[in-house]
Amino acid sequence: MLYITTRTPGETYTAQKALRDNRGADGGLYLPLRAPRFSAQELEALLDMPVNQTIASILNLLFPVGMTGWEVDFSVGRRPIQVRRLSRRVWVGELWHNPEGSFDRLTRDLVSGLLGDLTARPGNWAKIAVRVASLFGIFSQLRREGVAGPVDIAVVAGDFSGPVSAWYARQWGLPIGSIICCCNENNGLWELFHLGQFRTDAVAVSTSVPQADVTLPVDLERLIFAQGGIDQVNGYLEACRRGTLYCPEESLLESLRQGVTVSVVSTPRMESILLNVHKTRGYLLSPGAALAYGGLMDYMAKGGSGRNCLILSEDSPAASAGIVSHILGIDPGDVSPRIKT
C-alpha cells in the first residue's frame, strides 16, 4: 500500500515510512493513498476470525508484512484487548492488557512485531492503524457477545487520534454509529463543533487526565483533509501558524459534524463518575475512561440513538493509581483494574 500526506497528496510514500515516521517530508500526516472499504461479506469474514487474527488482517492490509494471528499472540499476548459490559447497552473496550497497562505499550509491541525490530518506535500513522485494528478486534468480540448493528463510541478527544481512528474505521465499513469526542476543561474542540470557531493559541489547563490536556489536536488535520481537501488544510494551518482564531467554512463545518459530536466533562464530575461506577457497578474506570463515560451519558441524556454504546479505555486504572486511589480513598497499592465491592 502507498501513502500520501495531508499536505502534498500528489506525492507517495512507502508503508515502511508511514510505519516509522511521524510525518512526511512536507510536515504532513500520512494516510493511505486508497483507503480500504470492506463489503458486508468481507466485514463478516473479518469479524468471524479469532480476535488476534482480525487485528493481524487489518495491519497486514495497511502494512503488508504477512503478520499472523499467532505473531500477534507472541507480540502482545492472547487477549491484549477485552470488552466488559457495564449495563444493558454500555460496554467498555479495554486496550491495555499488557505489562504497562497502556495502549502505548500495545502499539509499541505490535509495531516491533511488524518490523521485526524490538527497538522500533511507532510513527503517528502507526498509532492510528493499531487503534483501528484494535477497534475491529473489539467489534469481533462484541459480535461474539451478541451485539449487532451500529454501535456508538465515546473516546477522549485529546490529540484527536482516538476520534479520527474511529472515523477511519467507520469509513472502512465497521458499524460505528456516532462518535462522541469527550473533552475536559480543555474544550477547544467543543467550541469548534458547537460555535464554529477554534482558538489555535489556547493555553492548556493541567488536569488529572493528561491525554485530554491538548489545545491543538494534531490529528484534527486528518479529518479536515478527509472532509475538505488540501485547500481547507492550508486554511487551518495558516491559522495555526498565526495563532489566530480558526473559523472553517460552513460547508466544511457541517461535514466535520456528520456523525461526530463533542461533550465536555469537568474534572470534578469525572472523579464523581469514577467513584459512582465503582460503587454501583463494581467496575473501576481509569480517569480517561470515566471522562469518556461522562461524555457518553451526556449524549444519551440528550436523546442519543438508542444503540449499544462503547467506551474506549486506553489505560488501566492501575496506570493512574495515585489519582484513582485518592478518588476512592484507598492506598495506591490496592488499585487494580477491577475491584469488587
* Positions in the chain whose pLDDT score sits under 50: 339-341
In a domain, 8, yes or no: no
Assess contact for 273 and 290: CB atoms under 8 A. Answer: yes
pLDDT of residue 337: 60
Closest listed residue to residue 221, CA positions, set 203, 208, 201, 235: 235
For the chain, the residue count is 341
Assess contact for 64 and 2: CB atoms under 8 A. Answer: no
Class of residue 56 by CB neighbours under 10 A (exposed 0-12, middle 13-18, buried 19+): buried
In a domain, 6, yes or no: no
- What is the number of domains present in the chain? 1
- pLDDT tens digits for range 250-285: 999 999 999 999 999 999 999 999 999 999 999 999
In a domain, 114, yes or no: yes
pLDDT of residue 121: 83
pTM of the model: 0.95
301, amino acid identity: A
pLDDT of residue 339: 37
- pLDDT tens digits for range 298-309: 999 998 888 999
Q: What percentage of residues in the chain have a pLDDT greater than 90?
A: 89
Helix (H) or strand (E) holding 94: strand 90-94
287, amino acid identity: P
Which are the contacts of 186, defined by CB distance < 8 A and separation ≥ 6?
Answer: 202, 204, 205, 207, 212, 213, 214, 215
Question: What crossing angle do the helices spanning 103-115 and 124-144 adopt, rounded to 10°?
Answer: 110
113, amino acid identity: G
Q: Which three cell numbers stand for residue 294?
A: 461522562
Q: Which three cell numbers stand for residue 70?
A: 499467532
Question: At 323, which CATH number?
Answer: 3.40.50.1100
pLDDT of residue 174: 98
In a domain, 9, yes or no: no
In a domain, 323, yes or no: yes
C-alpha 121: how far from chain center: 19
In a domain, 17, yes or no: no
C-alpha 169: how far from chain center: 10
Structural domain that includes position 232: 38-334
